[in-house]
Structure 1
Amino acid sequence: MRLLAALILMGSVSAPALAQGAQAPVAQGSQDTLGEAVTSAIANNPTLMAERKGRAAADETLIQAQAGLGPQVNLQGSLNTQYQEFGRTFTTPIGTFPLDGSSQRATIGVEARQSLWSGGSLTAQRDLARAGVDESDARLIGVEQALVLDVVTAFMDVRYAESEFAIRESNVDALREQVRAAKDRFEVGDVTRTDVAQAEAREASSQAQLAGARARLANARAIYEQIVGLPPVQLAEPPPAPQLPGTLEQALSVARASNPNIMVARAREAQGDRSVDVAKGRLGPRLDLVGTAGLIETYQDDSFRDTNFAAGLELSFPLFDSGLLESRSRSAQLGADRARYERMAIERQVSAQVTSAWHQVVAVREEIRASMSQVAAAEIALEGAKQELVVGERITLDVLNQEQELLAARLGLIDAQRAAYLAAHQLLAAMGNLKPELVAGQ
């Protein structure tokens, strides 16, 4: 079953219906668009900001790992003073002198070291850091897309709550009119006191339901402000739902390549493999090229200077460490195996999410069509019941029941339209393709 027709249906009917009975319209320029809400949330959301800092930290980790492959140069220096007292003297033709004395010694040197062979551990550390950057990229994408979905949900929840409140308010007005009409008919003897009481009971019930709708609207607005960072003023009609793949297989293919959770799992699997390489590399020898240059000056009675230069190879090899390195290697391998299984599990989970979201999109399309037919039929039935009441073929309770059915049908329609719009975005989120610019209609 192709989904394009369903998407067109959702984009064309959801927004106008949700706008029915909303708050009084204002100038277009003062309305909050979905794109503006997404932009505000992305600019101000602290969770997303924290993830960006984590991404920058991953870059620094990569720089540190790359530095381990390059030369390391260190400068060292010292200044020492030494005093010696022997308690003896020596005699010369010109006099007697003590053997006591002091000396100062100054040293400065430079050491340069370049790794020639590390068993692959340094290269693996660099690749491990690169995999960490990939994970941070995927996590950032995931947080951003989750935020976008939260904004869309909050936006549509406010619009739905506004429409529900308006529909229930209209229902209160209609029932109030029914109460007035029932009282008029009671005065002329067309109906009994029971008919009036039934109308009054329905009106009171609708007033209570209106109060609940008012509370839900306030709650939806509060959640919107929490997510977006700004209170909703007057929400504009949302753009049509983004285009979706034509088949479930296409959606699954996109998800396997783009879903952030899968990307994170793959990056962690790569980190596990590189950790194994690091641990194994440390089991072998390490060869470094080392060069030094130094200057030593001693100040006593006369100045003495010693300059030296040296270069050579330094080889180190772990002979015995009580099994420490071997244990680290096995631990790294177990961690890599775990990451591999976790990646497989996440791929299955994402596949199930995409499949479920796909069928939800298909289902809500049918629900919208059924709800539209239900509203049309309920409107006809109510009008007929009112006319039949006038000629005595219906009683007041029949009209009240038809009012209730029309109310339920209208609420069901706006709920289905909201669900359809959200289902399309939930499918995009499961695919990993819920980009901010796509939602904003750019």
Structure 2
Amino acid sequence: MRKFRVLPLVLAVSLAGQAQAADLMSIARDALVNNADLAASRSGYNSVQAGEDIERGDLLPQVSATGSVTRYNITSSQRSNLAGAGAGGGAGGINAGGGSDNHYTGSTVQVQATQALFDATNWYQLEASKRQTAQEALNLRVDRQQLLYNVAQAYFEVLRAKEQLDTLRAEEQAVSRQLEQVRQQFDVGIVAATDVYEAQASYDLTRSQRISQESTLQVNFEALEQLTGKQYSSIDGLADDMPIERPTPASQQAWVEMASSQNLDLLAARAAVKVARANLDTSRAGHLPTLSAFANYQYGDSDQDNLRGNNEQNQIGLEATIPIYTGGSTSAQVRQSTFSLEQTQYQQESQLRTAVQQVRSYYAQTLNNVLSVQAQKRSIESNRSALEATRNGYEVGTRNIVDVLQAQQNLFTAISNYADARYDYVLNLLSLRQEAGILDVDTLDVLNGWLRADKAVLLNFESQGTTGLGIGDDQPDPGMNGPSPLEGSQGGAGQRRLPPPNRTALPDDNDLNGLGRGGLGRGMPGDTGY
């Protein structure tokens, strides 16, 4: 049977090292189970909780037993002189001398029991330990909540990086077509060399940004692995119609009151004040007497020649200890504990102010994100119209290639800003709930409902094509290989003739597909809260 029991474990270990698809909730569950920092916090809590049992033990009966067996080897030598008056006035004396050896074994057994009847120091130490356990429990909740936020932040940073990469790839393709067209126009003498260099510079800049963004996406994927200890081949993307609305309740004061009563860091700071107050009581108890009861039983046995047999002894009584003078150490401990209490009280006040300031800040930022998403959506449309107008001006000669490239860059920047605004909204809303002390698994579950598997972000570089994560730089590089655009414009066999006037290359619908989450022609998403 053991052979078959090993097989599931082997399969589990082998599958754990393989990349897997996941959504926000599955990654959060993995983090709660596997995150090393959270595991360390749990162990710290268990350690503090064990200290409570240690302090309680000092108030319970203390029983001990001791025993000994001793072998005695005694050698003694004695000499005695006796003097007296003899008959006939004579003197006489008797000298006696002798020696003896004594070898025997003795054994003793002692049992002692004590019970504290009054010991304020131990009692307050137990109370302080209980409060330390409560404080550590809050610290564990703080770490757990922070882990949930870190998972969500890492998750949405991956999605943000993917949208930015898609935008840069589309922009690179559009600028590449623009550069190719300008080169063709230069070859036939329609435009000056300056236009070619401007287009080439714009392409090189976009290309370098795309390469950097590919690295950013890979690094963000690895951040998820750091939190969970697992690799993920893909994660679900954010739905186009995810609602953006004001946080609920729609009152800053309501969020402030929530943070003042539920912020976990603030609750931990208040628990620290209780611990410091218990420590102060412990220090003051050093001035008080202690009273304990004790009972002893002792048994002894010996096989010595003249002392064969055993003896027993019983004792029972009370013992009181009154501290009279301890060199000033007890008073110094009281002063030290008093200052420690003041420190924790100031830290509590600081934490309260921080929580209030943070919740106000995140509430204002969330409201700003709601308006920003709407403004960035309109900015995409306006920049698209501006690009169309600039293109028409370029065709009739009132605008130059720099204007076209700038307008094109503005459009893609607007698309990128729109994506940033959406993810800023999500993360700021999560931060707001964290400061209010209500960020939990249920919050992530609501967000998870707006994720879609058909918008998954893949870590498989080869399978995503031009819109995926490609670490390899296999994109066409117009103008980077072969002769300079100017060197290839001197005429010769195969040179292209002057083409009819073409419209300046614009990003087509394929370039913008999937960008801005919902495309450029869709209306604003509705609004909902968490």
Q: How far apart are the structure 2 equivalents of 1:423 and 1:165? A: 22
Q: CA deviation at 1:403?
A: 0.8
- 1 CA distance for matches of 2:65 and 2:54? 20
Quick check: 1:61 aligned with 2:51?
Answer: yes
Against the structure 1 CA distance between its residues 85 and 399, is the aligned structure 2 distance closer, same or farther, given a 3 Å change threshold?
same
Say which of 264, 273, 280 aligns to 1:260. 264
Q: Report the CA distance between 1:396 and its aligned residue.
A: 3.6
Tell me how far apart the structure 2 counterparts of residues 164 and 55 of structure 1 sit (CA, whole Å). Answer: 42
Identical-pair percentage? 21
Return the TM-score normalized by structure 2: 0.71
Unaligned runs of 5+ in 2: 1-18, 80-97, 449-530
What letter is aligned with 2:412? L
SS in 2 for 1:235: strand
Answer with 104-113 or 301-310: which moved more: 301-310
Larger Rg: 2
The answer as to whether partners of 1:382 and 1:403 remain within 8 angstroms in 2 is yes
Alignment of 1:65-104 (within 5 A): 65-87=55-77, 99-104=100-105
Q: Is 1:32 matched with 2:22?
A: yes
The one-letter amino acid paired with 2:342 is D
Q: Identify the residue that residue 114 of structure 2 maps to in structure 1.
A: 113
Q: Report if aligned partners of 2:376, 2:417 keep a CA contact under 8 Å in 1.
A: yes
Q: Which SS does the other structure have where 1:319 is aligned?
A: coil
Q: What's the counterpart of residue 372 of structure 1?
A: 377
Query: Could you say which residue in structure 1 is the equivalent of 2:176?
Result: 176
- The amino acid that maps onto 1:59 is Q
The number of aligned residues is 408
TM-score (norm 1): 0.84
Give the Å deviation of 1:254: 2.5
- Which of 407, 411, 419 pairs up with 1:414? 419
Would you say the 8 A contact 1:125–1:275 is kept in 2? yes
C-alpha displacement of 1:248: 2.1
**1:49 is aligned with what amino acid?**
A
Once residues 245 and 66 of structure 1 are traced to their aligned partners in structure 2, the CA distance between those partners, rounded to angstroms, is 45
Residue 295 of structure 1 corresponds to which residue in structure 2? 299
Structure 1 runs not aligned, ≥5 long: 1-28, 90-96
Cα deviation per residue 1:135-174 (whole Å; 9 max; x = unaligned)? Answer: 2112211222222222222211111111111111101111
Q: 1:98 deviation in Å?
A: 6.3
1:218 and 2:212 correspond: no
- How far apart are 1:432 and its partner, in Å? 2.5
Aligned counterparts, 1:208-247, within 5 A: 208-238=208-238, 244-247=248-251
The code of the aligned residue for 1:137 comes to A
Q: 1:220 to 1:241 in 2, by over 3 A?
A: farther
The one-letter code sitting in structure 1 at the alignment partner of 2:107 is: A
Q: What is the Cα deviation at residue 189 of structure 1? A: 5.9
Aligned residue in 1 for 2:155: 155
Instruction: Give, in angstroms, the shift of residue 228 of structure 1.
Output: 3.4
The worse-fitting range, judged by mean Cα deviation, of 355-364 and 100-109 is 100-109
Q: 1:352 — aligned with what?
A: 357
Change (3 A) 1:334 1:186: closer
Distance change (3 Å), C-alpha of 1:232 and 1:402: farther
Deviation at 1:414, TM superposition (A): 0.9
State the shift of 1:326 in Å. Answer: 1.6
Mapped contact 1:169–1:210 kept (Cα < 8 A): yes
- 3-state SS of 1:85 partner: strand
Of the candidates 249, 273, 277, which is equivalent to residue 253 of structure 2?
249
Contact 1:106–1:296 under 8 Å retained in 2: yes
Q: Is the 8 A contact 2:20 2:231 kept in 1?
A: no
Range 363-372 or range 212-221, more displaced:
212-221
Q: Which moved more, 1:242-251 or 1:202-211?
A: 242-251
Whole-angstrom CA distance in 1 between matches of 2:303 and 2:152: 78
Moved more, 378-387 or 254-263: 378-387
Partner SS for 1:433 = coil
Over the residues paired in the alignment, what is the CA RMSD in angstroms?
2.7
1:427 equivalent in structure 2: 432
CA contact (8 A) 1:103 1:298 kept: yes
Residues in 1 aligned to 2:428 and 2:371: alpha-carbon distance in whole angstroms: 13
Q: Secondary structure at the match of 2:417?
A: helix
Correspondence for 1:143: 143
CA distance in 1 between counterparts of 2:172 and 2:428 reads 31
The worse-fitting range, judged by mean Cα deviation, of 414-423 and 325-334 is: 325-334
Task: Give 1:185 shift.
Answer: 4.5
Query: Which whole-Å CA distance do the structure 1 matches of 2:37 and 2:333 have between them?
Result: 34
Which segment is superposed worse, 63-72 or 219-228? 219-228
SS at match of 1:84: strand
Could you report, residue by residue, the CA deviation over 1:372-402 in whole angstroms, capped at 9, with x for unpaired residues? Answer: 1101222233234445545666544433222
Please state how far the C-alpha of 1:203 moved relative to its aligned partner.
Answer: 1.9
Q: Which residue of 1 aligns with 2:454?
A: none
Between 1:258-267 and 1:309-318, the stretch displaced more is 258-267
User: Does structure 2 conserve the Cα–Cα contact (< 8 Å) formed by 1:74 and 1:111?
Assistant: yes
CA deviation map 1:268-289 (0-9, x unaligned): 2111111111111121110001
CA contact (8 A) 1:288 1:314 kept: yes
For 2:283, the aligned partner's letter is A
Match for residue 382 of structure 1 among 387, 390, 394: 387
Partner of 2:203: 203
CA contact (8 A) 2:159 2:238 kept: no
Q: CA deviation at 1:368?
A: 0.9
Write the distance in 2 (CA, Å) between the matches of 1:241 and 1:379: 24
- SS across alignment from 1:70: coil
State the secondary structure of the residue aligned to 1:65. Answer: helix
Amino acid at match of 1:52: R
Native 8 Å contact 1:167 1:411 kept in 2: yes
Deviations 1:298-336 (A, max 9, x none): 222363222232221111111222212121122212211
Partners in 1 of 2:234 and 2:366 — Cα distance?
Answer: 28
State the partner residue of 1:167: 167
Find out whether 1:318 has 2:323 as its counterpart.
yes
Question: Is the 8 Å Cα contact of residues 255 and 354 (structure 1) preserved in structure 2?
Answer: yes
For 1:68, give the aligned amino acid: D
What SS does structure 2 have at the residue aligned with 1:234?
Answer: strand
Instruction: Give the structure 2 partner of residue 275 of structure 1.
Output: 279
Measure how far apart 1:99 and its partner are.
4.2
Contact 1:241/1:421 (<8 A) preserved: no
Summarize the Cα distance change of 1:245–1:238 in structure 2 as closer, same or farther, 3 Å threshold: farther
C-alpha separation in 2, matches of 1:196 and 1:121: 86
